[in-house]
Amino acid sequence: MYEWADGHLGQDLDAFVDSGALLTGGQIDSLVAYLRTRVAEDELARLKPGSSPTLATLGVVARPVRNLLKWAADPQTRGGHGIIDPLALSAYRARLELLFAPALAQGGPAERIRPLTDADDERVRQLVSPVRGADGRLHLPFRFGSDNPFEPETRLRNWLMYQLARELGLRRSEILALRISDIESGPPPIVNVRRRPNDAAETRRDPASVKRGDRALPPSDLLRAGVRAYHTTRWPVGRLGVTTPILLTSSVSRAPLAIRSASHVIETLARAARVDDLCWHSLRHTWAEEVASDLLADHGGDEDRSLAVLCQLGGWSNTSPTPKHYIQNALRRQAWQFQERRARRLWGSTHAMERGG
């Protein structure tokens, strides 16, 4: 919405609202068209080649934009100055309802991306990760298996992307927006996820940005070793000799890795692992389901405390419904496991009954 305002209003959206101005019908149409285009571009970046965007998330994007505009129109509700005629306010809000209606009708709730099963999770990990010796220790310098689906020049980078998503739950845009300076060697070691509006180093046609949830996360020794190897290995295998401060770069142009290229990475991994619906967000979902269970165990089943910590780790606001979903899922799993144990203890196993006749 703010990006649209910069290009079509010629001024900052906050300043426009504070002045008491209201969008014209043509401006509202332009905004809805812009949202439609951005949603289609985002979906195309995630889809497999030859697929078409469905705009399934358009309603999810358009509804809060419409609601914000309806709320901001009344200076009294937003703590501004002045009074707007009630009839004019009602007419403006009705116009917003009418012109946003097609976008809201088209965009129903998108099908939720599923977390990986244990078997799929392990198969993906084995394919993309560096090989280990018989004693379980990593070979240094990093080497990758013959079944790794990527070209040798991109294996280290692509595994590093996977590790950031699977270990820390980073969103795709957060991974691509990371700078070298965001990785601190410590002590303690830290991966910083930072918002940088109007970042001068962001030169991609489709920018990768951190929209919310600044946070600092401690990485594993494995992830630290991966970042160090990537940083100190000459391009194109690593990024030594690359000038951009963005962490992950193209193996072709030394420029920051494009969103479409990152999508191609996960598509290639999905085919190799035979997990058709694998995407970057699958790894975040898998991470969140896992962390929710661990937090409840750590905090003695305290839902509120577990939820608060999960929000901090995942970069969600305290009012977001998403982390609550993960906590509830973890509680359902605990209930299922408890009932299984209880049934076996009180009533015996099916196997025992069959054996006993």
- The predicted-structure confidence for 142-154, as pLDDT tens digits, reads as follows 999 999 999 999 9
User: What tokens were used for 56?
Assistant: 């399934």
Tally of CB atoms within 10 A around 221: 9
Among 214, 205, 197, 216, smallest CA distance to 257 is for 205
Judged against a pLDDT cut of 60, whether residue 357 lies above it is answered with no
Q: Where are the alpha helices (DSSP H) in 47-130?
A: 58-72, 86-106, 118-128
Q: H-helix or E-strand containing 109? A: none
| Superfamily of domain 118-278, CATH level 4 | Intergrase catalytic core (1.10.443.10)
Among 239, 265, 269, 268, smallest CA distance to 254 is for 239
Rounded-to-integer distance, Cα 81 and Cα 98, Å: 27
Residue with tokens 């970069």, as numbered in its chain: 315
pLDDT tens, residue by residue, 2-58: 888 888 887 788 888 778 888 998 899 889 988 888 888 777 776 666 566 677 778
281-316 b/e (C-beta count within 10 Å ≥ 16 → b): bbbbbbbbbbbbbebbeeeeeebeebbebbbebbbb
pLDDT tens, residue by residue, 219-266: 999 999 999 999 999 999 999 999 999 999 999 999 999 999 999 999
User: Which residues contact residue 269 at a Cβ distance below 8 angstroms, ignoring those fewer than 6 apart?
Assistant: 124, 127, 128, 149, 158, 162, 278
Show me where the domains of the chain are located. 2-106, 118-278, 283-356
The whole-chain average pLDDT of the chain stands at 88
Residue 51 confidence (pLDDT): 60
